[in-house]
Amino acid sequence: MRVLVVGGGGREHALVWKLRKSPRVKRIYCAPGNAGIAELAECVDIAADDITKLVKFAEEQEIELTVAGPEAPLAAGIADAFKAEGLKVFGPVAAAARLEASKVFAKQLMQKYGIPTAESRTFTVAEDALEYIRRKGAPIVVKADGLAAGKGVIVAQTMAEAEAAVKRMLVAGEFGAAGKRIVLEEYLAGEEVSVLAFTDGKAVVPMAGAQDHKAAYDHDRGPNTGGMGAYSPAPVLTPELLQQVRREILEPTVDGLRREGITFQGVLYAGLMLTADGPKVLEYNVRFGDPECQAILPRLKGDLAEIMLAVNSGSLAEATIAWHDRHTACVVMASGGYPGTYATGKVITGLAEAAAMPDVYLFHAGTAVRDGKIVTAGGRVLGVTAWGDTLASALEKAYRAVRTIRFEGAHYRSDIGHRGRAGTS
Ligand code: AMP
Ligand code: GLY
């Protein structure tokens, strides 16, 4: 089988790595890929959101399965375009991807189908939003409706912060079209977890649990990022809790969409707060999380390509999905300044030494080859991933590898897995 993976980050490197292990997969392409992916797949110089070119490439190369990694092409209808040409694609159609692409749509669906989430209201007029904030007080959460690369959510601890966020979105237009509508949401306290599931629009199969670390710095300080590390399993996500999330959140979401005439096929990701009243949805994603994917896929037994084909053909209920007992940890090494502005083109050393360490795999995120050297090319540069019999051993191996890798300005969190290790999660 000939496979095309769309995207070029750490998640896509993990997808390519796992798909390569499938006996059915004979050839893998990745558009656009990165320096690490290039060691496993043929990288194609097409942007992840250039849907017309991707369809043309898939037709010309007789691609039998295309896997869409990031949210932007899904929201823009990559699955619709492939399906219209009779091409197999893993990832939801645009109508289903609205769960991630529009917070307003997601909130409406949750309200309609009784899916537990924070109380919220939608606004387009700043005055009305400000008046609501004055009534509700802080802390309060301000969310841009549309896709904002993980930066469209402001958890305001004070009224002044909340008011400033509203003005940035609705008055100054800093978030463009994504911030023309906003959601003001009740602040939820608790521990945050991600539950990812495969679904073919009927069956929902949760994956092994994982926990992400969104804040840029140790002790969950600093601005939110796309994710600075992840580990799996997350002790807080017990098998019982995973089943509860499936019953009360994931299945009602997929069923609700179906009643709206929308079939969700792909990965449904629920970002949850474990509150005193049970798990509540903070957000949906319509794809693998990055870096959760890097922590989860090394634990998947069996053949990812088979699972993806089962999702595509609506036969997920018959597929076998099982997990290795091993623990995994992924530590993201980022460019200095990320998630703000950062320089690129910094030479990375120590990669070969780190990659040779046992039970370690380097998933590249923002890397490129320049003059024969691997250089930084993005905010998140590498997802240094390791596995072991315990979380502590996985973390030790991952950090040993991290310490051998160097590039100017590199920063990483030194406390990935801290909650899991403390046994509080
Ligand atoms: P989202 O993109 O909606 O997941 O929001 C990004 C981050 O903001 C989440 O991962 C949470 O850490 C935080 N967050 C979002 N909504 C809430 C909420 N209602 N209460 C507390 N924190 C929240
Ligand atoms: N790690 C969070 C995300 O992929 O959205």
Q: What is the CATH number of the domain that holds 364?
A: 3.90.600.10
Answer yes or no: is 97 within a domain: no
Which of these three, 280, 307, 323, is where a domain ends?
323
Domain containing 378 equals 327-423
| pLDDT surpassing 80 at residue 79 | yes
- Whether residue 317 is found in the same domain as residue 331: no
Q: Which ligand has the shortest distance to the CA of 147?
A: 1
State the residue for tokens 């069956």.
203
Centre of ligand 1 to C-alpha 136, Å, is 18
CA atoms of 182 and 194, how far apart (whole Å): 23
According to DSSP, residue 113 is labeled T
Which of these three, 278, 300, 323, is where a domain ends?
323
Residue nearest (by alpha carbon) to ligand 2 atom 4 = 289
Q: What is the average pLDDT across 177-203?
A: 93
**Structure tokens that stand for 214 in this block:** 């969104």
Cα distances from 350 to residues 145, 151, 374, in angstroms, run 42, 32, 10
- Whether residue 316 is found in the same domain as residue 399: no
Ligand 1 pocket, mutate which of 184, 282, 285, 292 (most atoms under 8 A from CB) = 282
- Whether residue 268 is found in the same domain as residue 235: yes
Residue ranges with strand state E in 253-409: 266-275, 278-285, 300-301, 322-323, 327-334, 360-364, 367-370, 373-376, 380-388
Confidence of residue 423 (pLDDT cuts 50, 70, 90): low
* Beta carbons of 328 and 392 less than 8 angstroms apart: no
- Whether residue 256 is found in the same domain as residue 305: yes
Q: What is the average pLDDT across 8-34?
A: 98
Ligand 2 pocket, mutate which of 71, 196, 287, 292 (most atoms under 8 A from CB) = 292
pLDDT in tens, 396-417: 999 999 999 999 999 999 999 9
β-sheet bridge partners, residue 90: 67
Ligand 2 pocket, mutate which of 15, 74, 103, 290 (most atoms under 8 A from CB) = 290
Centre of ligand 1 to C-alpha 386, Å, is 28
End-to-end distance of the chain based on CA atoms, in angstroms?
40
Cβ of residue 271 lying under 6 Å from some atom of ligand 1: yes
Answer yes or no: is 101 within a domain: no
- Whether residue 229 is found in the same domain as residue 199: yes
Answer yes or no: is 45 within a domain: yes
- pTM of the entire predicted model: 0.94
| Region for residue 271 given its phi and psi (left: phi exceeds 0; alpha: psi -120 to 50; beta: otherwise) | beta
Centre of ligand 1 to C-alpha 180, Å, is 19
Main-chain phi, psi angles of 26, to 5 degrees: -100, -30
Strands 65-68 vs 2-7: parallel, antiparallel or unpaired? parallel
- Ligand 1, atom nearest to 271 Cα: 4
Which of these three, 76, 91, 106, is where a domain ends?
91
Answer yes or no: is 112 within a domain: no
β-sheet bridge partners, residue 122: 183
Cα distances from 175 to residues 155, 168, 224, in angstroms, run 16, 8, 16
Q: What is the average pLDDT across 360-370?
A: 97
Centre of ligand 1 to C-alpha 227, Å, is 13
Cα distances from 297 to residues 18, 324, 397, in angstroms, run 7, 10, 18
Answer yes or no: is 111 within a domain: no
Answer yes or no: is 100 within a domain: no
- Whether residue 226 is found in the same domain as residue 296: yes
Confidence of residue 425 (pLDDT cuts 50, 70, 90): very low
- Closest by Cα among 194, 266, 274 to 226: 194
pLDDT score recorded for residue 316:
97
Residue 35: CATH number of its domain = 3.40.50.20
Q: Which ligand has the shortest distance to the CA of 220?
A: 1
Cβ of residue 333 lying under 6 Å from some atom of ligand 1: no
Answer yes or no: is 208 within a domain: yes
pLDDT score recorded for residue 57:
98
Q: How far is CA 117 from the centre of its chain?
A: 20
- Whether residue 201 is found in the same domain as residue 318: yes
Q: What is the average pLDDT across 268-274?
A: 96
β-sheet bridge partners, residue 322: 301
- Whether residue 248 is found in the same domain as residue 303: yes
Cβ of residue 270 lying under 6 Å from some atom of ligand 1: no
3-state secondary structure 235-295: CCCCHHHHHHHHHHHHHHHHHHHHHCCCCCCEEEEEEEEEECCEEEEEEEECCCCCCHHHH
Cβ of residue 178 lying under 6 Å from some atom of ligand 1: no
Centre of ligand 1 to C-alpha 66, Å, is 31
Centre of ligand 1 to C-alpha 282, Å, is 5
- Whether residue 218 is found in the same domain as residue 313: yes
**217-226, 307-316, 348-357: which has the minimum mean pLDDT?**
217-226
**Structure tokens that stand for 369 in this block:** 């080859």
CA atoms of 266 and 374, how far apart (whole Å): 33
- Whether residue 144 is found in the same domain as residue 202: no
Contacts of 26 (CB under 8 A, 6+ apart): 1, 2
Residue nearest (by alpha carbon) to ligand 1 atom 8 = 153
Centre of ligand 2 to C-alpha 227, Å, is 6
CA atoms of 89 and 87, how far apart (whole Å): 6
Centre of ligand 2 to C-alpha 228, Å, is 10
pLDDT score recorded for residue 224:
85
* Beta carbons of 99 and 276 less than 8 angstroms apart: no
pLDDT in tens, 281-323: 999 999 999 999 999 999 999 899 999 999 999 999 999 999 9
pLDDT in tens, 366-395: 999 999 999 999 999 999 999 999 999 999
- Ligand 2, atom nearest to 288 Cα: 4
State the residue for tokens 């606004």.
123
- DSSP secondary structure string, 119-135? -EEEESSHHHHHHHHHH
Instruction: Supply the mean pLDDT for the chain.
Output: 95
Ligand 1 pocket, mutate which of 121, 153, 157 (most atoms under 8 A from CB) = 153
Residue 167: CATH number of its domain = 3.30.1490.20
Number of domains in the chain: 4
Q: What is the average pLDDT across 324-347?
A: 97
- Whether residue 312 is found in the same domain as residue 258: yes
pLDDT score recorded for residue 104:
93
Answer yes or no: is 219 within a domain: yes
pLDDT in tens, 109-164: 999 999 999 999 999 989 999 999 999 999 999 999 998 876 788 999 999 999 99
Contact residues of ligand 2, CB 6 A cut-off:
212, 226-227, 285, 289-290, 292
- Whether residue 292 is found in the same domain as residue 200: yes
* Residues across the chain: 425
- Closest by Cα among 66, 186, 175 to 119: 186
